[in-house]
Amino acid sequence: MNGPQTLILLVLALLGVFAEAVVDFPRVWLRTQFDVLPPLMVYASLTGGVGTLVLLATVGGICADALSGNPMGVSVLPLFWVGLALHWRRELILRDLPYAQFVLGGMAAAAVPVLTLVVLLTLGENSLLGWGTLWQLLVVTIGGAALTPLCFSVMETLKRAFAYQPSTTTPFPANREIKRGRY
Amino acid sequence: MAFVVVLALVLVILNLPQAVATKAKLAVGSLFLPLFGLATLTRDLGQQAGKHLPPPSALIAELDRTRRENRELRVLVAQGDEALRENDRLRQLLGWKPQLPWATKPARIIARDTANWWRTARIDRGTRDDLRPNLPVVSADGLVGKIGEVGLTTAEVVFVGDPKCRVAVVVRETSEHGVLSSSSVGVLDHRLMDLTHLPRHTALKPGQRVFTSGLGGVFPAGLPVGTIVDYRSVGYGLYTEARVKLSADTSRLNEVLVLFP
């Protein structure tokens, strides 16, 4: 992943965090908001380097904490842990298959809030927990799973849009081309 | 190596002094201000476009309803004014300290908490508008919460139901005092709260109204909070705990009022 691609990823992370704060879907109906950062972290871990993971975890985590009641920096470590775990095993993962992206996105979306809550409880923060938290985790997992293939698709489209286009014309005139086989 | 760098960074951030951490959080949050402005503008444009859609007959009916409501409210205000004057006279007679009315400042909710385990939101008022932490926030339906961290142009509202917002309340019908705190049931039903520290023998009944008691010094007395849903005995019968349904639905609020003493 080159510089501009990393920049696009970070901008998407910022816009995602902003959308989480501003858009009321699905919060009003399901009492839970999706998290955009785990799907982006799955993409970054499977296509980028460790530097990209550090940047995404730091920028995304700090921005998410700034718009929430979390203490600053709490979301950074969980995001980075999940990204690093996937990055270590990325050669064994069928990253181009949508169902693999779906499963990985779900796992990451479930792991990040659980780890964040562990960090919060370790810090002695009294957050809102109960049986309903399991429902929230379920919704966040399904949402993260659904968003991950979408995230891959958007990032690949943006990557193609900002990359050099492959040459479609040949220097040889078409009427001088030697055609082989039956036709 | 990367892990050590991230871990060190997080440890440094988490160990920042409270004041520095709050300022850093507000500074990072202010990066989103242009986007918040854009979102508010888009919402306003949508609402303005929506205003052109209703047919004239619906508008006339709405105008009639508003005029009728206005007349009724005028009568109520006149009655309230008379009651206030009477209250002042009686206070003077008894030599009690006069109650100063609370000023209000309207604010718009521009963002909600991105985490599912807090109940906070961000409003478009800040220190520029004389906001400071712990000011009460209300809506037309009742108590909403209090002001948390305050930046120059935005501030955090900690809703009733968040673990950081506990309210001293009184049940109007029984005059029993208690503390309203977040409930584990409130994770899904954000309007349901626990009313704790109630006496052992209580005359509570479902449907009784709960108001702020004024104890604690943050919220003024008499703000409507909610109604009693049910109650049970806890601590081997030593205390009573009740569940309260909040009057204000914080998940659907777009505008709130900040109270100034």
Please name the member of A31, A72, A84 whose beta carbon is closest to the beta carbon of B3. Answer: A84
In the predicted model, is pLDDT for residue A155 greater than 80? yes
In the predicted model, is pLDDT for residue B53 greater than 90? no
Give the best residue of B32, B117, B154, B253 to mutate against chain A (max A CB count within 10 A).
B117
Work out the minimum CA distance from A126 to partner chain B, whole angstroms: 6
Same CATH fold assignment for domains B106-159 and B167-260: yes
| Average pLDDT value for residue range A98-115 | 94
Please name the member of B24, B184, B188 whose beta carbon is closest to the beta carbon of A31. Answer: B188
Residue A183: predicted pLDDT: 60
Whole-model pTM? 0.84
Residue B95: predicted pLDDT: 83
Please name the member of A31, A72, A117 whose beta carbon is closest to the beta carbon of B190. Answer: A31
Give the best residue of A82, A86, A122, A128 to mutate against chain B (max B CB count within 10 A).
A128
Contact criterion met (CB < 8 Å) for A22 and B163: no
Confidence of residue B233 (pLDDT cuts 50, 70, 90): confident
Residue B234: predicted pLDDT: 83
B41 touches chain A (CB under 8 A): no
In the predicted model, is pLDDT for residue A147 greater than 70? yes
- The CATH number fitting domain B106-159, selected from 2.40.10.340, 3.90.550.10, 2.102.10.10, 3.10.20.90: 2.40.10.340
CATH of domain B167-260: 2.40.10.350
Walk me through the domains of chain A, giving residue ranges and CATH numbers.
3-158 (1.10.1760)
Sole residue written with tokens 């932490």 = B133
Provide the residue ranges of all domains of chain B, joining segments of one domain with +.
Answer: 12-52, 106-159, 167-260
In the predicted model, is pLDDT for residue B43 greater than 70? yes
Residue A93: predicted pLDDT: 85
Lookup: tokens for B90? 């009686």
Contact criterion met (CB < 8 Å) for A120 and B117: yes
B111 touches chain A (CB under 8 A): yes
Chain B contacts of A58, Cβ < 8 Å?
6, 9
Q: For residue range B124-179, list pLDDT tens digits in order.
A: 999 999 999 999 999 988 899 999 999 988 999 999 988 899 999 999 888 899 99
